[in-house]
Amino acid sequence: MQGHRIGYVRVSSFDQNPERQLEQTQVSKVFTDKASGKDTQRPQLEALLSFVREGDTVVVHSMDRLARNLDDLRRLVQKLTQRGVRIEFLKEGLVFTGEDSPMANLMLSVMGAFAEFERALIRERQREGITLAKQRGAYRGRKKALSDEQAATLRQRATAGEPKAQLAREFNISRETLYQYLRTDD
């Protein structure tokens, strides 16, 4: 049974270009999540899983775009192929059909493990870079949501009894951020 080719794209940040992942690939529909790979809330992936039917092919740029880790990758590939859905990874040049050889399953595990390893190395290098930047005095962390003057006004109004939810909305910050400002005096 010949089905549709359906694309799945995940971009980690809003400034990444989702079209790049499936350029020069013919698909009839694309599901795009704008979320970190570690984020378990991927509504478009859930929508894709509900949408696909037996005979369809899911096309993904690479394994790390589909899954957060090796276990998640195996689970998703198995879930799709058991329903008669093929899954194609463009970067790795691999296709899984559910009737895969032991060699194909080994490749899935090896490539997935490499992707997981690569993500771990990137995180480690990022942490090392931040540590070095802090030692040089070049890293100050995330930009503060409020200026010192705004923070003082916020504290003053909260102390006067204004509702915290209202203040958070007015200052365009989350309530958690508001409470962080109230706990600190700087």
pTM to 2 decimals? 0.62
DSSP state, residue 10: E
With vertex at residue 73, the alpha carbon angle to CA 71 and CA 78, rounded to the nearest 5 degrees, is 95
CA–CA separation, 131 vs 65, rounded Å? 28
pLDDT over threshold 90, residue 185: no
Tell me which of 12, 101, 109, 174 is the catalytic residue.
Answer: 12
Q: Please say if 12 is a catalytic residue.
A: yes
Q: What is the pLDDT of residues 95-119, one digit of tens each?
A: 998 876 788 778 888 887 887 888 7
Q: What is the pLDDT of residues 144-164, one digit of tens each?
A: 889 989 999 999 999 999 999
Q: What per-residue string of b and e applies to 116-140 under the rule 16 or more CB within 10 Å gives b?
A: beeeeeeeeeeeeeeeeeeeeeeee
Six-digit token string for 6: 């359906």
Q: What is the pLDDT of residues 53-90, one digit of tens each?
A: 999 999 999 888 888 788 888 889 989 999 999 999 99
Helical (H) or strand (E) element with 11: strand 5-11
CB 62 within 8 A of CB 91: yes
CA–CA separation, 57 vs 78, rounded Å? 14
